[in-house]
């Protein structure tokens, strides 16, 4: 997970997981490249928060994100770890660029031209994940807390029921709007950092 409640680091377990995967691939006949999607930080952090709420989380988005050391929110660092364990085999793809033309990008990124764009038609239906508005997320957070306090549900049980009763009915109507839930100064810093990441990392 990119955010661990017991750490202030962004992707705290990445090096451990990359090392294990590298060892597995080294001892197997599988030849694989690593395709890693990056996304604007504000959108990514909000999406991570929604996943946390779906799993029964009860903290506010400010508390959830505030635990992170902001200097570690950095795709360049993540890409560097991946390149260390998979040298010459890492492809960094901008999330929004990929979904702007999924059939073409699927053929190019995952099949190296072995399948044409025409072969991948029908995949234009792919859409980015929808996220409910922050107002709905606040209701979901309070619902998680109520389920856990009054009915003694586990966080996972509460999250599943909240997703079904609160989040899913609204996610088709509402998206995150202009309010990101992030400090404006931090948001500006992260936006600038992301533009540099895309320029330096996404060269396919």
The number of C-alpha atoms within 13 Å of 78 and in the hemisphere containing its C-beta is: 25
> What pLDDT does 175 receive?
47
Domain-located, residue 5 = no
> What pLDDT does 176 receive?
46
CA 107, CA 84: separation in Å to the nearest integer?
26
Q: How many domains does the chain have?
A: 1
> What pLDDT does 174 receive?
46
Task: Classify 36 as helix, strand or coil.
Answer: strand
Domain-located, residue 170 = yes
Q: What is the pLDDT along the chain (204 residues), one digit of tens a residue?
A: 788 878 999 999 999 999 999 999 988 898 889 999 999 998 899 888 888 999 999 998 888 888 899 899 999 999 999 999 999 999 999 988 888 888 888 888 888 878 888 888 776 565 555 566 677 788 889 999 999 999 899 999 999 999 888 887 765 544 444 455 677 888 899 999 999 999 999 975
Q: What are the residue ranges of helices labelled H in the chain?
A: 14-26, 41-54, 61-66, 75-85, 95-100, 102-109, 134-150, 155-162, 168-171, 184-201
> What pLDDT does 187 receive?
86
> What pLDDT does 105 receive?
86
CA 187, CA 85: separation in Å to the nearest integer?
31
Residue 94's beta-bridge partner residues?
38
CA 113, CA 105: separation in Å to the nearest integer?
10
Domain-located, residue 29 = yes
Please choose, from the candidates 22, 13, 28, the residue with its C-alpha nearest in 3D space to the C-alpha of residue 87: 22
CA distances from 88 to 65, 148, 172, 197, 200 (A): 32, 47, 40, 18, 15
Domain-located, residue 2 = no
The number of C-alpha atoms within 13 Å of 125 and in the hemisphere containing its C-beta is: 3
Domain-located, residue 178 = yes
Per the structure block, which two tokens stand in for 67?
């635990």
CA 96, CA 41: separation in Å to the nearest integer?
12
Domain-located, residue 189 = yes
Domain-located, residue 8 = no
Domain-located, residue 3 = no
Range of the domain at 135: 14-201
Buried b (16+ CB within 10 A) or exposed e, 126-153: eeeeebbbbebbebbbebbbebbeeeeb
Please choose, from the candidates 162, 143, 169, 154, the residue with its C-alpha nearest in 3D space to the C-alpha of residue 51: 162
pTM exceeds cut of 0.75 = yes
> What pLDDT does 170 receive?
66
Please choose, from the candidates 125, 134, 138, 146, the residue with its C-alpha nearest in 3D space to the C-alpha of residue 179: 134
């Amino acid at each position: 997970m990119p955010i661990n409640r017991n750490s202030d680091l962004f992707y705290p377990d990445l090096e451990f997981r990359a090392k294990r995967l590298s060892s597995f691939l080294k001892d197997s006949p599988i030849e694989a490249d690593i395709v890693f999607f990056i996304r604007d930080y504000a959108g990514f952090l909000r999406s991570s928060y929604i996943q946390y709420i779906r799993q029964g989380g009860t903290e506010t988005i400010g508390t959830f994100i505030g635990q992170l050391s902001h200097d570690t929110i950095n795709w360049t660092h993540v890409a560097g770890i991946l390149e260390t364990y998979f040298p010459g085999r890492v492809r960094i793809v901008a999330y929004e660029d990929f979904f702007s033309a999924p059939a073409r990008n699927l053929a190019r990124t995952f099949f190296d031209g072995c399948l044409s764009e025409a072969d991948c038609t029908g995949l234009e239906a792919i859409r980015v994940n929808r996220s409910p508005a922050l107002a709905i997320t606040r209701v979901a957070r309070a619902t998680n807390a109520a389920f856990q306090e009054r009915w003694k549900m586990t966080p996972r049980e509460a999250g599943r029921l909240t997703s079904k009763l609160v989040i899913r009915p609204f996610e088709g109507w509402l998206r995150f709007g202009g309010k990101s839930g992030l400090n404006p100064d931090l948001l500006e810093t992260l936006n600038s950092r992301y533009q540099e990441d895309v320029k330096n990392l996404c060269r396919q």
